[in-house]
A and B are shown apart, each in its own frame.
Chain A
Amino acid sequence: AQSVTQLDSHVSVSEGTPVLLRCNYSSSYSPSLFWYVQHPNKGLQLLLKYTSAATLVKGINGFEAEFKKSETSFHLTKPSAHMSDAAEYFCVVSDRGTNAGKSTFGDGTTLTVKP
């Protein structure tokens, strides 16, 4: 079985300060992990993905995430928040086991960026 938990439903930061959005996953097989961003009234856009290559993954707009198997985590970070980063962020897991073909989404983290 696979599951994903986003540990914070809301995160608020000031512009120019670091961003940390936390995600823990559970998977019986080698997982693929993704972060997507959704701006208000828009579809979802891929930020970055981990598919068993390098454990530190760089994405678009300065975001990166580190796959830590021992901690079953895939936290999303950015050194300096920008106002345009305010959005909903989803962590997603997909594995090759009995859930093959399905992805499981976290409940989302709303990021607020204060001026």
Chain B
Amino acid sequence: NAGVTQTPKFQVLKTGQSMTLQCAQDMNHNSMYWYRQDPGMGLRLIYYSASEGTTDKGEVPNGYNVSRLNKREFSLRLESAAPSQTSVYFCASCVSSYNEQFFGPGTRLTVL
């Protein structure tokens, strides 16, 4: 039982490049989330998926897209990376929206 896994752990991009962050959970959770964490700002919600087949914008969705591929997997795509997207990205999942979330180890992304 691996919990929530994220790939890659580290990534360096140049401005304008694209990439996809992968997230998978093996706990049969319905809801999945993508956050970014910047110093002094806590975690901010980018997108979430309350259940398979649905996605909704969070607090800071601009510049990102998501895909809920199936119940296990929820990917985050940066189409044209910008230095402002330098951050640590966390994926999380939970049984339902009002329960505790389980977090992945994070992806540290630097955009030059």
Contact = CB atoms under 8 A, between A and B. Distances in A.
Interface stretch (A11-19, A70-78, A79-87, A97-105): A97-105
B interface residue count range (under 10 / 10 to 19 / 20 to 34 / 35 or more): 20 to 34
Given A42-B105, A43-B104, A102 B58 contact: yes
A42 B106 CA distance: 8
A7 interface: no
A103 B34 CA distance: 11
- The binding surface of chain A is classed by DSSP as loop
B90 A101 contact: no
A107 B40 contact: yes
A43 B44 contact: no
Interface residues of A, number: 23
B40 A101 contact: no
Which of A42, A43, A51, A106 lies at the interface centre, i.e. has the most chain B CB atoms within 10 A of its CB? A43
A102 B42 CA distance: 15
A25 interface: no
A105 B42 contact: yes
A101 B48 contact: yes
B50 A101 contact: yes
Interface of B: 31, 33, 35, 40-45, 48, 50, 56, 58, 90, 92, 97-106
